[in-house]
Structure 1
Amino acid sequence: MPMPAPDFSWHFTPGNTFTEESGTSGTLSVVAGGELWLHTGRVIACDPFVSLGAGEAEPFTAQVEPGRYRVDAAVATLVREGEPEADTPHLRVAAARLVIKEAPTVSWELALQPGQDLAELDDEEFFGYGVDAGTGCFYDAGSDGSFPDCDGDEGPLWDAFDTVPPSPGPHTVTDPATGHNLIAFTSGWGDGAYPTWIGRDEAGAITCFVTDFFVVPVEALVP
């Protein structure tokens, strides 16, 4: 069986707290990231600094109606026991969410790309996207190729994260020629591989896509 999904409503409840074995504690808040234009309804989640416009990231097989959908991030403010308060808070994105429908989520499933089969996964394994630049994003598959200025080590994507004080996002980058946009955020503790989950309501309709960056310890989610 693949890795089970946590209940992500916990991540997106402001004020929830957790404590790591190291003694570091975290308090969650929800940070709005604006609206993502899904003009084809085909969702891509990836590291934009690595895969954007490179044809490497495929959309998920689950599609939604074209439209504009809210993106937000569950951001943990971390404090280590016994250390003095820092001038700048230590922030980590615990999860990023693309909200499709404002309805309670009753079930979760891994978001799959073409050719991926859950039967291939062993216990605790998952399909996800690789991160090599400490960043993730959501965008529409029809927007691939819309951000040529983001290639290389400069451009609007770099500028979005070049803030004082540094901000983990979410940050919106928009192509002025087409209006296509992406919404990006830092990826938890940084590089690695991270799963995206699809939430569904009682009728089986998609409520959201959530990428988990493994900041919240599993123990915090056990009733």
Structure 2
Amino acid sequence: MAWAGDPRLAATPEAAEYLEAAFTPGAQLGTVYDDPTTPVVVTGIEELTTIRVPSGRLVVDAPWHDDEVYDYERGLPTPHPRELAVRIPPGTYRVDIAWSAGPYEFMGEHFDGVARAATRLCVSDAPVAGWETGLSVHEDIDRLQPGEEPRFFSDANVGCFADAGAWTALSAPFRTFADGVPAPRDTERLADGSERLRDEAHQADLVTFVAESGGVVWLGRTKTGDVAAIVVTSGLPGAKA
């Protein structure tokens, strides 16, 4: 039987079109702001790294939030991470970045307009038949308001994928502050300022990526309903609720 998702989570046609185009080199994602004659085009897909998720439970959230500095200073507990309600098979997965470019001019200076269009965790190479927003374990679909976009927020413009079973250990270096500033941490430096932190005790990883103010998490499902991709975007048409 073909998969039929809940219409309250289904991506709008505009969002679905963006998600399909974002990982298609040469596809147009729109036009440059204030210049409808200049297209924004996908220039390529870059494999950022791989991530181990042995628990099959995935956190997609900021590795830390600004208010957590004060929580630590006052001895208060920090918020639960945004763990997705959906489960994926335990394994190691590829993380990709989709790059786009839309040249523009500002105050007489020319810019290439290169930007990250989306970040993807590839669960499988099966074709995606439909897109829906990814709820967290703490969100109730029956309480969604019309037009609401479930998402995570990030004051520091950083998001991450991480194994939920090892979250405490994986996020600890990102939640260590000195005088209100994140302390130096021993992580693997990746492209575009991203980082990977490994926890060998759990055989699990955390991978950061740029996420301006946070982002919406999208699940790309196959025709049988399996999750083939988990994609994070910022600033594109949202989901129906």
TM over 0.5: yes
Asked if structure 1 preserves the Cα contact closer than 8 Å seen for 2:188 and 2:197, the reply is: no
What TM-score do the two structures reach when normalised by structure 2? 0.73
| Higher helix content, 1 or 2 | 2
Cα–Cα, structure 1 residues 170 and 9, in superposed 2: closer, same or farther, change >3 Å?
farther
Deviation (angstroms), 1:117: 2.5
Quote the residue 1:208 is aligned against. Answer: 229
Which amino acid in structure 1 is aligned with residue 164 of structure 2? Answer: A
Give the number of the structure whose alpha-carbon radius of gyration is greater.
Answer: 2
Q: Equivalent residue of 1:60, what SS?
A: coil
Asked if structure 2 preserves the Cα contact closer than 8 Å seen for 1:43 and 1:140, the reply is: yes
The answer as to 2:168 corresponding to 1:156 is: no
The answer as to 2:42 corresponding to 1:13 is: no
Asked if structure 2 preserves the Cα contact closer than 8 Å seen for 1:160 and 1:173, the reply is: no
Q: Percent identity?
A: 23
Which amino acid in structure 2 is aligned with residue 10 of structure 1? Answer: A
What TM-score do the two structures reach when normalised by structure 1? 0.78
In structure 2, what is the Cα distance between the partners aligned to 1:149 and 1:115?
25
Once the two structures are superposed, what CA deviation does each residue of 1:60-102 show, in whole Å capped at 9, x if it has no partner?
A: 111011000111121223421475445xx55432211111111
Alignment root-mean-square deviation, CA: 2.9
Cα–Cα, structure 1 residues 159 and 62, in superposed 2: closer, same or farther, change >3 Å?
closer
Q: Which runs of 5+ in 2 are unaligned?
A: 1-7, 69-76
For residue 158 of structure 2, the aligned residue among 132, 135, 143 is: 135
Q: Equivalent residue of 1:49, what SS?
A: coil
Deviation (angstroms), 1:112: 1.1
Quote the residue 2:95 is aligned against. Answer: 71
Asked if structure 2 preserves the Cα contact closer than 8 Å seen for 1:108 and 1:198, the reply is: yes
Deviation (angstroms), 1:105: 0.4
Asked if structure 2 preserves the Cα contact closer than 8 Å seen for 1:196 and 1:211, the reply is: yes
Deviation (angstroms), 1:34: 1.3
In structure 2, what is the Cα distance between the partners aligned to 1:185 and 1:42?
19
Asked if structure 1 preserves the Cα contact closer than 8 Å seen for 2:31 and 2:102, the reply is: no
Deviation (angstroms), 1:171: 3.6
In structure 2, what is the Cα distance between the partners aligned to 1:158 and 1:35?
14
Cα–Cα, structure 1 residues 157 and 202, in superposed 2: closer, same or farther, change >3 Å?
farther
The answer as to 2:124 corresponding to 1:104 is: no
Segment drifting more, 41-50 vs 117-126: 117-126
Deviation (angstroms), 1:156: 3.4
